[in-house]
Amino acid sequence: MNLTINGEARSLAPLPHLAALVTSLGLDPRKVAIERNLEIVPRSAYEQTPVADGDRIEIVHFIGGG
């Protein structure tokens, strides 16, 4: 399965849902926000959201800023 995550092309084994992707990337789902194909996915819906070949995923978090 080919995904674009934060602008980087990635080849991954098929995943059941977005929650599995977050875990496989080593991220804490409580500390990120996710866009799938330009649509925000509510945190409560990660386990119901499929990840499909060709998806463009953005995963962001808070960093320091002014």
Size of the site for other proteins (CB under 8 A): 26
In angstroms and rounded to an integer, the radius of gyration of the C-alpha atoms of the chain is 12
**CA 14 – CA 34 distance, rounded (Å):** 19
Answer yes or no whether residue 55 interacts with other proteins by CB under 8 A.
no
In the complex, least distance from residue 30 CB atom to other proteins, rounded to whole angstroms: 9
Of residues 1 through 20, those in contact with other proteins by CB under 8 A are 5-8
Site for other proteins, rule CB under 8 A: 5-8, 25-27, 31-35, 38, 40-43, 58-66
